[in-house]
Structure 1
Amino acid sequence: METCLAKGFPDYNVSFDRDANAFCERVRRDGLADVALIALDHDLEMILDDSGQLYDPGTGRDVAECLAQLDPVCPVIIHSTNSPAAVGMEQCLQDAHWTTHRVIPFVSPVSRGSDDAAPANAEWIRTFWYRTCRKAISSSLR
């Protein structure tokens, strides 16, 4: 995702947060004035801290609820295989007047069972997700 955005939008800084709580703290502290797009997944991976302990980084719904407390400033892309959770995130944001777009991740049939599946599994990122990001950013600039 970072690579797609960096190549497609070289004039923008790309930043990824894998911890919902840290993202929300940063947003409350710094605001979103310089943000052109937010992309959310619901199910975040556990994170290994400096002491070797795993901790729960929260969920995309936590971020959606945080954003819902703020004035909308940019579009939000929701990409999650957890459809019920993605629908809840989308509704939370839309109720707060944020513009949302959904992209459903998929595994290319060509990549199933392949020893080299990882690059093919990212096909949805290079195609549907990236195009949705491009459309969302360009629409918000009008």
Structure 2
Amino acid sequence: MSRPSEIARQIDEIVYHIKGKKVRIQKEREAIEQDKRERNELMKGRDKLEDEIEELKLKIDREQSRISKKEKEVEGMINNIKGLVNDLVKIKEEYEKGMRRGGRRDEIETKGDVQMIREIGRKLFSKKRLRVMNWNSK
């Protein structure tokens, strides 16, 4: 074989390897592009999920603040009821003291007031109501 034909054969061999490497490089580039597209889609999905998670966190915070406000309102109402019950107990004790001393009617304004106090006392001091109040005070 002559020197020029050997050089031509080597050039053909190198060109063949170059073409093969170019094909592999092209396939790698396509794979990289595909991976980039998938990554972008996943990032969009992740961003969407992060937004949804943030919205859920805000919703939970709003609901918790509403619940705490309602719990404070309920506590205030329970405290008001306890205060009113204490007032009724004092009124009842004063009434009983007055009745033991001879039952002066000028201490209790009218008979209707006495009946109203008794009725309220019966309602407030019923067993069921006392159980509920004791349960709430724990």
Q: Which has the higher helix share?
A: 2
Highest RCO, 1 vs 2 (Cα 8 Å, sep ≥ 6)? 1
TM (norm. structure 1) is 0.19
Q: Which has the higher strand share?
A: 1
TM (norm. structure 2) is 0.20
Q: Which has the larger radius of gyration?
A: 2
